[in-house]
Amino acid sequence: MDKTKLLVVEDEPTLLETLKYNLVRQGYEVVTAADGAQALPTARAERPDLVILDVMLPGLDGFEICRVLRQEMSLPILMLTARDEEVDKIVGLEVGADDYLTKPFSMRELLARVKAQLRRVRILREEFEASGREPADSESSVSVFTFGELVIDESRREVQRGGEVLALKPKEFDLLTFLARNRGIALGRSLILERVWGWDFDGGSRTVDVHIRWLREKVEVDPAQPARILTVRGIGYRFDG
Ligand code: CA
């Protein structure tokens, strides 16, 4: 079985070595980058399962790297930060990190966070497999979904609520269809971005939030109290059929 591969981006040599040593001991395969310029090419070439990313780096900083990674691939990103204002930025989800640790941190804490993020991704994957549906996308069979007052007709690319046709933009329709096809499953923002917008999309995970808001305003009876498109804290969204 393939080992889980982690990319560690850190410019302090001692910390980088310590991280690598401990992660390898846990059975992970570890690839490293020591500055911002190396980080992206390494991530593209190695396709890691998770990235540990320092914020303060020479060259491209961790925020910038995180933003680009988010657009290109779907994987957990754990950021290492030294300052409070950096935490604010990460917590504000402006860069799309999944978790962060403030320096100095204990190795035990780091390993626990890494494990938790990997478990989260694995659970998501297993849910898809258990549901007998590969995270469904537009290639799957075309059909009409009915959820109470809501009718989604994929072949006509039309959505009705209570018999009334809703004016959805193309991306809103794609997003709604993706959610509906995977109803009952919590979908992460990065997965939604990847499946609805594609890897080449030039935007961040906030794009998902914005489109969800627009969609709720059209689809939900009461957008402030959504009954169909629910927020799953710490993950993303779930469609309840
Ligand atoms: Ca640093």
- In order of their start, the domains of the chain are 5-130 (3.40.50.2300), 139-239 (1.10.10.10)
Q: How far is the CA of 120 from the centre of ligand 1 (A)?
A: 27
Q: Answer whether residue 40 shows pLDDT above 80.
A: yes
Q: How far is the CA of 58 from the centre of ligand 1 (A)?
A: 8
Q: How far is the CA of 89 from the centre of ligand 1 (A)?
A: 16
In 3D, which of 105, 96, 59, 57 has the Cα closest to residue 77? 96
Q: How far is the CA of 135 from the centre of ligand 1 (A)?
A: 37
**Could you give the residue ranges of the DSSP H alpha helices within 131-192?**
170-181, 189-192
212 pLDDT tier (thresholds 50, 70, 90):
very high
As a whole number, mean pLDDT of residues 28-36 equals 95
pLDDT by residue (tens digit) across 105-161?
Answer: 889 989 999 998 898 888 767 766 666 555 554 444 557 888 888 999 887 889 999
Q: How far is the CA of 75 from the centre of ligand 1 (A)?
A: 22
Q: How far is the CA of 47 from the centre of ligand 1 (A)?
A: 22
65-75 burial code (b ≥16 CB/10 A, e <16) = bbbbbbbebbb
Q: How far is the CA of 53 from the centre of ligand 1 (A)?
A: 9
Full-model pTM: 0.56
Q: How many CB atoms lie within 10 A of CB 128?
A: 17
Report pLDDT for 135: 54
